[in-house]
Amino acid sequence: MLLGLHHITALASNPQRNLDFYTQFLGLRLIKRTVNFDDPGTHHLYFGDDTGRPGTLLTFFAWPNAPRGIRGTGQAVGASFAVPNNSLDQWIERARRTAVEYTAPETRFGQDLITLYDPDGLPIELVASAPRSDRGAIVQLHSATLRESHAGRTSTLLTEVLGFEPVAESGNRARFQAGGSFLDIVTSLEEPGKTSTGMVHHIAFRVIDEAEQRRWRAKLTDAGFRSSAVRDRQYFRSVYFREPGGVLFEIATDGPGFLIDESLEDLGSTLTLPAWLETIRDSIERRLPPVTVPETKRLAGTR
């Protein structure tokens, strides 16, 4: 079975500005600083909780010279995080103090939320859905949202193939659940969007191990979906396919995890590369825009 969201990957422009926002403002930890294995001249930054648990991860490919994306249908829209249900006022005050754009609180399916916008305009929803806490920190990914022109086809994939359960509907928004995460579909009459910076690149769902992943790949094939071969992403294994509206989905394993090449204390402090890219490390480092990792975010438990 799918265990919920594994990670969401989006596109940023300036990697330093991106790193500063997600560590200094949102309080996530930089879990891994590596490259896009399919495009080694591009930063791939992973943010999550102190240990990088699947289900807490928001990652970014940095495209410094790319234009802003154009929003429309056939896209995933931002990322939603669960925060303590007494923390929205704290987040609003924090956004005001640091001049981060945000929206007024709204209620969706009985849960209050606000939307923040990162430096590239990516919407980040904070949903008051976790137990009360004085810290007010982000707990985990809550949900992702798809904007679709023909929602029925995607709904069928979710319920009849991927095992999601429909749990709520209001207006043009329908909510589905798998494991501890939600996926919303918003039906829209907009034109198809164009993915670039400030937008989501793909959504990944969790499976426990590679054997389960192989079963899902076979199930997708039987249902008529074309999926990629299993790809080694060093910290997990991945299979990719597109849902009927065009959004890229991934099925990712929970392991082997982020501690295979760095200690818990040192997560995110160095540029890590898989063995097959180590031979060209010097070339990669010359091509990548430099970034500075804040010292206060290098140690587990710091906020």
List the beta bridge partners of residue 163. Answer: none
pLDDT along the chain (303 residues), means of 10: 97 98 97 97 97 98 96 97 98 98 98 98 98 95 98 98 98 97 97 97 98 98 98 98 98 98 96 97 97 66 35
Structure-derived torsion over alpha carbons of residues 265, 266, 269, 273, reported in degrees to the nearest 10:
-140
Residue 108 CB-density burial (10 A; 0-12 exposed, 13-18 middle, 19+ buried): middle
pLDDT of residue 303: 36
223-255 confidence digits (pLDDT tens): 999 999 999 999 999 999 999 999 999 999 999
pTM for the model: 0.96
pLDDT of residue 295: 73
84-111 confidence digits (pLDDT tens): 999 999 999 999 999 999 999 999 999 9
pLDDT of residue 299: 41
pLDDT of residue 302: 33
Domains of the chain: 5-297 (3.10.180.10)
pLDDT of residue 296: 52
pLDDT of residue 193: 97
- C-alpha closest to that of 129 among 92, 86, 84: 84
